[in-house]
């Protein structure tokens, strides 16, 4: 019963990650906004991480056997560690691309209604996901679900940064978009560092 509840929340998170990744990628490519593209990359890592979480929850819920006398709980720790490595990798790309855009003065992105709409939608969905995952993580003491909850909590903060960057870009400040992307990268790195320390300690 516990396994089914944990798995349901993990699958729910995975399906929404698909929707947000697709939406942000399309809007980011159409507008040329690095802020939105960085959010799309963030969601893509969340999508992969959510998939790993689903697998980890299924494995960790198996009872102890001859090869795993203390159960399979460490799968969740490995899943959380894998997620942090994905996040750090995305940070590197975001910082690199943002600095290049600031230094080389790339054309300003074409900000439109859809750019704002997809970020506002993402904030709303991530709030619900973080809340559901956090509740499930506390109830079942699941580090994998907790890692996902922290991911989506950080997504909310980074989405607000991108939203402000879109507003500033719309007002004519082209540098605001890559600056928002850098803020997203900093938020991601801070969360990744925290999760890495906890995962390594647990392992």
- pLDDT for position 120: 92
pLDDT attached to residue 61: 54
pLDDT at residue 87, rounded to an integer: 75
Q: What single string gives the DSSP state of each residue in 25-84?
A: HHHHHHHT-HHHHHHHHHHHHHHHHHHHHHHHHHHHTSPP-SS-TT-STHHHHHHHHHHH
Q: Quick one: pLDDT at residue 51?
A: 73
DSSP 107: P
Burial class (CB in 10 A: 0-12, 13-18, 19+), 174: middle
On the 0-12 / 13-18 / 19+ scale of CB atoms within 10 A, 145 is buried
pLDDT at residue number 70 = 44
Reported as type and span, the H/E element at residue 6 is helix 2-31
pTM as predicted:
0.67
Give, for all 203 residues of the chain, the pLDDT tens digit.
Answer: 445 666 677 777 788 888 888 999 999 898 888 888 888 877 777 777 777 766 666 665 555 555 544 444 555 566 667 767 777 877 887 888 888 888 887 666 778 888 899 999 989 988 888 888 788 778 777 766 776 777 677 778 778 888 888 888 888 888 888 888 888 788 778 777 777 776 666 55
Angle formed by the axes of helices 34-60 and 2-31, to 10°? 160
* pLDDT of 1: 42
- Which pLDDT does position 10 carry in this prediction? 72
pLDDT of residue 26: 92
**Would you state the pLDDT for residue 97?**
82
Distance (Å, whole) CA 4 – CA 57: 9
8 Cβ contact list (under 8 Å, min separation 6): none
């Amino acid at each position: 019963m516990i396994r089914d509840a944990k798995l349901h929340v993990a699958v729910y998170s995975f399906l929404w990650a698909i929707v947000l990744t697709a939406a942000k990628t399309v809007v980011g490519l159409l507008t040329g906004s690095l802020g939105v593209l960085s959010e799309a990359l963030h969601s893509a890592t969340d999508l992969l991480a959510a998939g790993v979480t689903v697998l980890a929850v299924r494995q960790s819920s198996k009872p102890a056997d001859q090869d795993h006398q203390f159960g399979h709980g460490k799968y969740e720790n490995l899943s959380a560690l894998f997620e942090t490595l994905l996040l750090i990798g995305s940070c590197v790309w975001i910082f690199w691309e943002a600095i290049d855009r600031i230094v080389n003065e790339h054309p300003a992105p074409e900000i439109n209604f859809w750019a704002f709409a997809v970020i506002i939608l993402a904030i709303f969905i991530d709030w619900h996901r973080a809340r559901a995952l956090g509740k499930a993580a506390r109830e079942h003491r699941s580090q994998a679900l907790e890692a996902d909850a922290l991911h989506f909590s950080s997504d909310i903060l980074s989405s607000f940064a991108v939203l402000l960057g879109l507003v500033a870009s719309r007002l004519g400040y082209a540098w605001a978009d890559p600056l928002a992307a850098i803020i997203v990268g900093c938020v991601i790195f801070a969360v990744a560092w925290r999760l890495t320390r906890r995962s390594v300690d647990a392992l």
